[in-house]
Amino acid sequence: MNLDQAIQQRRSIRGFTDQPVSRDLLEEIIALANRAPSSMNTQPWHLHVLTGEPLERVRKGNTEKMLGGVPPSREIEDYAAYEGPHRERQIEIAIQLFEAMGIERHDAEKRQDWVMRGFRQFDAPVSVVVCFDRSLLDNTIAHFDTGAMTYGLVLAAWSRGLGAVINGQGIMQSPVVREVANIPEDQVILTCVALGWPDEDFAANSVVSRRRPESNTTRFLGFDNASS
């Protein structure tokens, strides 16, 4: 698979087979992600790769706290609810996923099941907890750098037939993750990536999210025939 194909075909994968992912393969992917650019080559990221028992403990703790009504506890500043066009796009992808999964709008039980699935990191065999240096917590560029690395990770996984979904749900109760994975105090948990071999029969895995056209996101200046 070439780079264009990986970028074009990648989708978030939310259903996985039970097949484990080898440590060797994960190390290969991480080595590629580690080549990401960063501001002044600061490389602020740290990865904690969980499988087996520790991952089950994270799933259990996260799920129990969410079900028990414990408010989400993230280590980066939480954004307010999305509004306007951002909210519209959020609703659009939710509708696509629910349609694929046959979840009716008013089916509270199935909707809840779906949300809980997210809190379990979609039962993926591997979770990569993505952190960065706490000393850069207020430095937006460190978030950017770590995001760039994370996209590289997802693409490198995809090009090897693995599926992944970057997800905030899995670290919604970050103290659980911090304790189980013994994350050093000088690191901040940013997000996590659920990763594994895609279950081809899982309907949500075939959902292709939409993109607004580049003409809405991009301007060209100083080119021949440029329009503003």
Q: Is 9 in the site for ligand FMN (CB under 6 A)?
A: no
Nearest in space to 62 (alpha carbons), one of 143, 179, 165, 147 = 179
User: Using the rule CB under 6 A, which residue among 168, 175, 202, 203 binds ligand FMN?
Assistant: 168
Enumerate the β-bridge partners of residue 166: 193
Q: Is 5 in the site for ligand FMN (CB under 6 A)?
A: no
* Region binding ligand FMN by CB under 6 A among candidate stretches 68-76, 123-131, 134-142, 165-173: 165-173
Q: Which is nearer to ligand FMN, 23 or 115 (CB)?
A: 115
User: Using the rule CB under 6 A, which residue among 104, 115, 209, 220 binds ligand FMN?
Assistant: 209
Q: Is 62 in the site for ligand FMN (CB under 6 A)?
A: no
Nearest in space to 16 (alpha carbons), one of 57, 48, 49, 51 = 51
Q: Is 12 in the site for ligand FMN (CB under 6 A)?
A: yes
| Contact of 205 with 199, CB cutoff 8 Å | yes
Nearest in space to 128 (alpha carbons), one of 83, 190, 67, 176 = 190
Q: Which is nearer to ligand FMN, 51 or 169 (CB)?
A: 169
Number of residues that bind ligand FMN (CB under 6 A): 12
Minimum gap (Å) between residue 59 Cβ and ligand FMN: 14
Q: Is 169 in the site for ligand FMN (CB under 6 A)?
A: yes
Other beta carbons within 10 Å of 74: 16
Give, as ranges, the residues between 90 and 129 that touch ligand FMN (CB under 6 A): 93, 118
For residues 176 to 205, the per-residue mask of contacts with ligand FMN, x marking binding by CB under 6 A and - elsewhere, is ---------------x--------------
Strand extents, DSSP E, the chain: 45-51, 126-133, 163-167, 187-196
User: Between 108-119 and 52-67, two packed helices, what is the crossing angle to 10 degrees?
Assistant: 140
CB neighbour list of residue 69: distance below 8 Å, 6 or more residues apart: none
User: Using the rule CB under 6 A, which residue among 128, 165, 180, 195 binds ligand FMN?
Assistant: 165
Q: Cα–Cα distance between 177 and 220 in angstroms, integer?
A: 44
Provide the binding-site residues for ligand FMN, judged by CB under 6 A.
11-12, 14, 93, 118, 165-169, 191, 209
